[in-house]
Structures are given as C-alpha cells and as structure tokens.
Amino acid sequence: MWNRRALHAAELPSSNGIATARALARLYAALVGAVDGARLLRPETLDAACTVQSEGADAVLYLPTRFGLGFMLPPALCPSAPPSAFGHPGAGGSLALGDRAREVGFAYVMNRMSLATAGDPRADALVAALGRCLDA
C-alpha cells in the first residue's frame, strides 16, 4: 500500500516522508556544512537542535529513545552512530543522519523492508563502515 500515488499525496507526518537516499544524505550534509554554497542551519542553531530534550522509554515503540528538537540522538539513533550524530530512523530500517564532527550526511533506504523496531543491522553496519572510512 505504501507505493500508491494516493498515499504518497497524503499528509501523514509520522509516516510518509518519501525521499531517495541521495536526497536525504544531501539534506543532512547541508545541515552540517555547505552544499553548493548553502548551509541550512547555523552551527549554533544545530547545536541547540541537538541538545537533549527528552530521554527514556518511548510509550509507543517500547524502546529507550533520546531526542533533541526534532532529531533522534545517539545511542538510540543507531548503535554505531558517534555522539556527534543526529537524525532519524524510518520505516522498514531506513536511516538518515548527519555527523557534526565529521561534517558528513548519510542515508540508507532499502527495497526490502525490515519489521524490526530496534533499528536495522544493515543500516548500522553501513554507519560503522562509514566511521571506519572517515577515521582511517
């Protein structure tokens, strides 16, 4: 049902943010640095958005979560995400994040959705590999 035009056109704030991995990674990259000469948020604004606002057991997901102003924060975001990361997981195992320290945007979307609620090991493995590449 998620691939129907009518559902794509509906406004479901919790469910249907639809984008490519390239577009999501570019968005997060533009939050942590300039992309084609444009940066979306000033560093101090992003720091404020990444300040912990809520932390603890999520009443819907039944998992520990940690949020800033609109962004999920580590360690709930992704086990391999560094403390300087912020972002959000999505349905089926997708994940998009920015890393303020490394000034990089990352996104993973998939063709085969996972039903796990605690994150996707595929996305986590990719975040870990990205970290190893950037730290090498």
Q: What is the pLDDT of residues 83-133, one digit of tens each?
A: 999 999 987 889 999 999 999 999 999 888 777 666 788 999 999 999 999
pTM (predicted TM-score): 0.89
Question: Is the backbone of residue 56 left (phi > 0), alpha (psi -120 to 50) or beta?
Answer: left
12 domain-assigned: no
- According to the model, what pLDDT value does residue 82 have? 96
6 domain-assigned: no
49 domain-assigned: yes
- According to the model, what pLDDT value does residue 16 have? 76
- Cβ pair 51, 83 in contact under 8 A: no
13-31 mean pLDDT? 90
42-61 mean pLDDT? 94
Question: Is the backbone of residue 41 left (phi > 0), alpha (psi -120 to 50) or beta?
Answer: beta
Q: Model confidence at 13, in pLDDT bands (50, 70, 90)?
A: confident
List, for residues 73-85, the tens digit of each pLDDT value. Answer: 999 999 999 999 9
The rounded distance, in Å, linking the Cα atoms of 46 and 24 is 17
How many distinct structural domains can be found in the chain?
A: 1
- According to the model, what pLDDT value does residue 60 have? 81
**Of 93, 91, 92, the residue nearest 78 (C-alpha):** 93
- According to the model, what pLDDT value does residue 118 have? 65
9 domain-assigned: no
3 domain-assigned: no
Q: 10-19, 42-51, 78-87, 102-111: which range is least confident on average?
A: 10-19
44 domain-assigned: yes
The rounded distance, in Å, linking the Cα atoms of 23 and 5 is 20
Domain of residue 48 covers 19-135
64 domain-assigned: yes
